[in-house]
Amino acid sequence: MLKFLSPNIGKVSFLIAILAWLALLFVDITRIFGMMNQIESGVVPEVSYILQVVFFIMVYIFYNYSITKNEKNEFLNLIWRGASTGLLALGISLLIRGFYGILGDSRLALDPLLRNFFYHINFAMTSLFLISCTLLWKRLILYQKTKKVVQQWQAFEILLLISMFFVFFNQNTLDYSFLFGLVFLNIFSISLAINLKWIPYLTFKEKWKSILFFSIILISSSYLFFQVLSYSDADQIPVNLTDNLLLIGLFAFVFIYSLFSFLVTLFNLPTSSVFEQKLVEAINFQRLSQSIKPGENENQVLDILIDSSMSASYADGGWLETSNKEGKLTLIQERFIDKKNLGQVKELIADSKALQHNNTYRKEEESKVFQVKINHNLYKSALVAPLLVNQELIGRLVLVKEVKDGFNKEMLNIISTFVGQACISVENYRLLNDAIKNERYKEELKIAQRVQESLLPDKLHHDESFEISAFSAAADEVGGDYYETKQLDDHTFVLIIGDVSGKGTSAAFNMSQMKGVFHSLVQTHSNPKDFMILANNALSECLEKNHFITTAYYLINTDSKKITYSRAGHCPTLYYNHRKQETYYLSIDGMGLGILRNKLYEKYVHEKTFQFGSGDVLVLITDGIVEAKDGNGVEFGYERLKTVVDENKNLNSKEIQDTIIQEVYKFIGKNRIADDDYSLMVVKFK
Amino acid sequence: MLKIENIDQTDHMVLQLSGEIDASNSVDLDAAIQDMISRGAKKILVDGSQLEYISSAGLGVFMSYLEEFHEKDIQIVIYGLLEKVHQVFVILGLDKLITIKNNQQDALEAML
């Protein structure tokens, strides 16, 4: 319902206002006809008063609506609206006066009907001007809303409303009650007129314009006021509409506020540049803090920095240097200063700095903005501001002036604030970039992790004569441990465990190479010694020169119950011999793959064969297990592992494996992070 | 933590290692050896008596120079290793390629 009505408020109120005005005119014309024809028309003045009140209220509603609707209300626009309405009212009034001047003493000039018509036009224009100005001033007064000002304004509006109806008591005659009301309204107007907080926001040019507009308003309102005064003595007017308390009160209010604004704006002119400067600084500050977005260059912020600093300090020239990793400064921005002068000033600053350092040099002074006197033929003072990010010098801003001691304390302050903000922006930018980069690395590591997990076998080959279980944990996202099984025929199985030198991603890559080598060789050269020699050949070609791989390789024949094995630099395998009731490490010489990358390697590869029996246990490990350290840096070690296996040899393979892992974790302590990869493969013969 | 000290003697150079060598500081060891080679060392004595731990990355550094030592006829002897560190060299088989001695005296004699 409301929604339906609201767009029409402007039109409806405007229409009613026109109708009320026409009615006023009609009522008066009726009266004049009555007077002329000596007939009592019987229309009491109250009818006119009521129509007048309706007219005022409708005009008020119309302007209130149209000013609020117009969102783009800048101060200057508002004042111009007031001034233009004033000009219009003034122009029409002057036209009417000119018209009567032309008519001279003709009959038409004395015609009461015409005179009354023009009176009504003047009345309407004056009312429009005053009410529109009042509502415009309302916007200005309430620009910075506080509770107090809002309440004051509401009280003023109520007063105006009361004064509108005052006409019913005094019939628009000048008496004491009228004067009392007027004085009261005037005092209120003055107290409201001190709300001029919008003026400083005008620029210098806008201030000049507003002074012009205010003078127009002052002239129009004065002229219209005197015109109204002249009407109160005129006798052709049957009902005086203009000696209304509201109109006179509004005259006072509009005039007082315009006068105050005019004077204050005038006196604000000389200092307006300071306020403008502060506003520019605030905007620059905001630009500095928002300037860098990801993907953009940090030079952009430095660009804004030097421009803002130059304008804040009225510097005659300046430049900006950034330092690279070695601390060498390179010039990236220069303003209004040529290369030759720049070099000279640079040396002078360096000299004066050296002098300072000799006297009282303190580290913290290095990070402050400071001013130096320089003895240059053009520039007399310089300001040096170091740019620090994380206490690290990233650059230097230098501003120069042609006068001595050209930089005051405020300038030093504002420039250090600018520099601080710029540095924070640069730092944020760098952090953000790092975060994005890290995020990408994490993603890639996740992929590597998935790939590597797929490299470890999901199935361990075995037959009914032995059971097998395996475990692997990586210290980083990806590890360098490797184990695998392979069934060559019904009774032949191969077990391999390996450890790639180094950790992390590079180790994981080498591990995948090892897997490839294993699968290509094991088909044709399953014999441990042959396998090692060929694997060494292959890996020598593809491993980096400081990388190597250690492996232990077991060929198990479940038919002949024989194990043939070879060790390439890998940590020894633990064996429990059930028949002998003995636990020991299988000892055999061997050299890591990739250590010796030529024919000589063959000399260092060995192979052994032994018979296994029921109940025997084979524990293949990587060095992470024996090198696991507790809080005091003591290693888990071979002996401790041997004891654990010895005590649990009768369990099945999975249970033995779990016990070892538990013992290792218990040993290193709960809260410590594993710093190496652990892998383990346990075989139990039935 | 790894501390590397380099002492030049009249006819040989001594590389003193103390602390732990792992993936993070193995590059320092690499740089130290590279430096000695570039200064024309012919006999390098590595004092490992203060060395508490060496990771596979550290072993990789020694390993990577074996060929260059051989080509340039540079002798390298490591001495004074703690038992557990020595074991690491032995398990990997590096003891077959690099001379490892118990003390400085033996090491100096091995060089001649």
Contact yes or no for B23 and A503 at CB 8 A:
yes
Residue A315 shares a structural domain with residue A376: yes
- B73 Cβ neighbours under 8 A, 6+ residues apart: B42
Q: Provide mean pLDDT across the span A439-460.
A: 83
Residue-averaged pLDDT of chain A: 86
Q: How far is A490 from chain B (nearest CA, A)?
A: 33
Q: Estimate the share of chain A in helix, then strand, then coil, as percent rounded to the nearest 5.
A: 60, 15, 25
Confidence of residue A657 (pLDDT cuts 50, 70, 90): very high
Give the dihedral sign, CA A398/A403/A409/A415: negative
Sequence letter at residue A404: K
What is the distance between the terminal CA atoms of chain B, rounded to a whole angstrom? Answer: 33
| Boundaries of domain holding B82 | 2-111
Three-state SS string over A445-497 comes to HHHHHHHHHHHCCCCCCCCCCEEEEEEEECCCCCCCEEEEEEEEECCEEEEEE
Residue of A nearest to B87 (CA): A571
Residues of chain A contacting B, Cβ within 8 Å: 499, 501-504, 545-548, 550, 568-572, 589-592, 594-597, 604, 623, 635
Q: Each residue of A106-154: pLDDT tens digit?
A: 877 778 888 888 889 999 999 999 999 999 999 889 888 889 999 999 9
For residue B23, the chain A residues in CB contact (below 8 A) are 502-504
Domain containing A311 — which CATH number?
3.30.450.40
What burial class does residue A125 get, using C-beta atoms within 10 Å of its C-beta: 0-12 exposed, 13-18 middle, 19+ buried? buried
- Report the alpha-carbon distance of residue A18 to residue A576 in Å, rounded: 114
Residue of A nearest to B54 (CA): A627
Contact yes or no for B63 and A595 at CB 8 A:
yes
Q: Give me the DSSP letters along A97-125.
A: HHHHHHHTTSTGGG-HHHHHHHHHHHHHH
B98 touches chain A (CB under 8 A): no
Does residue A172 belong to any structural domain of this protein? yes
**Residues B41, B23 contacting (CB under 8 angstroms):** no
Q: How far is B10 from chain A (nearest CA, A)?
A: 30
Choose among A250, A183, A187, A242: nearest CA to A221.
Answer: A250
Q: How far is B105 from chain A (nearest CA, A)?
A: 28
Give the dihedral sign, CA A572/A529/A499/A485: negative
Tokens of A543: 């491993």
Asked whether residue A4 carries a pLDDT value surpassing 60, the answer given is no
Contact yes or no for B93 and A589 at CB 8 A:
yes
Predicted pLDDT of residue A134: 93
Residue A421 shares a structural domain with residue A549: no
| Boundaries of domain holding A673 | 457-685
pTM score above 0.80: no
Domain containing B56 — which CATH number?
3.30.750.24
Residue A569 shares a structural domain with residue A536: yes
Separation of CA A80 from chain center:
38
- Predicted-complex ipTM score: 0.91
Does residue A452 belong to any structural domain of this protein? no
Residue of B nearest to A637 (CA): B84
Which strands make up the sheet holding A617-621, listed edge to edge?
A466-473, A678-685, A617-621, A574-577, A582-585
Chosen for mutation from B22, B24, B29, B63 (greatest number of chain A CBs closer than 10 Å) is: B63
Residue A254 shares a structural domain with residue A324: no
Confidence of residue A294 (pLDDT cuts 50, 70, 90): low
Rg of the Cα trace of chain B?
Answer: 13
For residue A545, the chain B residues in CB contact (below 8 A) are 64
Residue A269 shares a structural domain with residue A328: no
For residue A591, the chain B residues in CB contact (below 8 A) are 92-94, 96-97
Pairing type for strands A562-568 and A574-577 reads: unpaired
Residue A201 shares a structural domain with residue A265: yes
Contact yes or no for A591 and B92 at CB 8 A:
yes
What burial class does residue A503 get, using C-beta atoms within 10 Å of its C-beta: 0-12 exposed, 13-18 middle, 19+ buried? buried
Predicted pLDDT of residue B80: 93
How many residue pairs bridge chain A and chain B with CB atoms within 8 Å of each other?
60
Contact yes or no for B60 and A546 at CB 8 A:
yes
Instruction: Return the percentage of chain A with pLDDT > 90, whole number.
Output: 39
Asked whether residue A365 carries a pLDDT value surpassing 60, the answer given is no
Q: Give me the DSSP letters along B23-68.
A: TTTHHHHHHHHHHHHHTT-SEEEEEEEEEEEE-HHHHHHHHHHHHH
Sequence letter at residue A532: M
Residue A199 shares a structural domain with residue A61: yes
B57 touches chain A (CB under 8 A): yes
Q: Give me the DSSP letters along A366-388.
A: GGS-EEEE---SS--EEEEEEEE
Sequence letter at residue A79: I
Q: Structurally, how many domains does chain A consist of?
A: 3
Confidence of residue A361 (pLDDT cuts 50, 70, 90): very low
Contact yes or no for A591 and B56 at CB 8 A:
no
List of long-range contacts for A412-416, beta carbons under 8 Å, 24+ apart:
A412/A369, A412/A370, A412/A371, A412/A383, A414/A281, A414/A312, A414/A313, A415/A309, A415/A312, A415/A313, A415/A369, A415/A383, A415/A385, A416/A368, A416/A369, A416/A385
Q: Each residue of A498-542: pLDDT tens digit?
A: 998 877 777 888 888 899 999 999 999 999 999 999 999 999 998
Domain boundary among A227, A244, A274: A274
Residue of B nearest to A540 (CA): B64
- Report the alpha-carbon distance of residue B82 to residue A410 in Å, rounded: 67
Residue of A nearest to B67 (CA): A596
Range in A29-38, A198-207, A572-581 with the lowest mean pLDDT: A29-38
Residue A196 has φ and ψ, to the nearest 5°, of -120, 35
Does residue A49 belong to any structural domain of this protein? yes
Predicted pLDDT of residue A236: 64
Contact yes or no for B64 and A545 at CB 8 A:
yes
Chosen for mutation from A476, A482, A500, A501 (greatest number of chain B CBs closer than 10 Å) is: A501
Give the dihedral sign, CA A628/A630/A631/A633: negative
Asked whether residue A580 carries a pLDDT value surpassing 60, the answer given is yes
Q: Structurally, how many domains does chain B consist of?
A: 1
Q: Provide mean pLDDT across the span B54-63.
A: 90
Contact yes or no for B91 and A595 at CB 8 A:
no
Predicted pLDDT of residue A292: 64
Residue A255 shares a structural domain with residue A357: no
Predicted pLDDT of residue A352: 78
Q: Provide mean pLDDT across the span A650-678.
A: 84
Residue A304 shares a structural domain with residue A261: no
B112 touches chain A (CB under 8 A): no
Residue A209 shares a structural domain with residue A256: yes
Q: Give me the DSSP letters along A658-680.
A: HHHHHHHHHHH-TTPPP-S-EEE
Q: Provide mean pLDDT across the span A44-70.
A: 87
User: Residue A571: which of B63, B91, B94 has the nearest Cβ?
Assistant: B91
Q: Estimate the share of chain B in helix, then strand, then coil, as percent rounded to the nearest 5.
A: 45, 30, 25
User: Residue B56: which of A501, A590, A604 has the nearest Cβ?
Assistant: A501
Q: For A418-448, b where at least 16 C-beta lie within 10 A, e where not — what string?
A: bbebbbebbbbbeeeeeeeeeeeeeeebeeb
Contact yes or no for A548 and B84 at CB 8 A:
no
Map residue A682 onto helix, strand or coil: strand
Residue A112 shares a structural domain with residue A58: yes
Does residue A261 belong to any structural domain of this protein? yes
Task: Tell me which H or E stretch contains B99.
Answer: strand B99-101
Q: Each residue of A248-283: pLDDT tens digit?
A: 899 999 999 999 999 999 998 888 888 878 878 888
Inter-CA distances, A85 with A82, A89, A394, Å? 5, 6, 59
Q: Give me the DSSP letters along A478-547.
A: S--EEEEEEEEETTEEEEEEEEESS-HHHHHHHHHHHHHHHHHHHTT--SHHHHHHHHHHHHHHHS-TT-
Does residue A441 belong to any structural domain of this protein? no
For residue B64, the chain A residues in CB contact (below 8 A) are 545-546
Confidence of residue A366 (pLDDT cuts 50, 70, 90): low
Residue of A nearest to B85 (CA): A627
Residue A261 shares a structural domain with residue A329: no
Predicted pLDDT of residue B92: 92
Contact yes or no for A591 and B23 at CB 8 A:
no
Sequence letter at residue A69: K
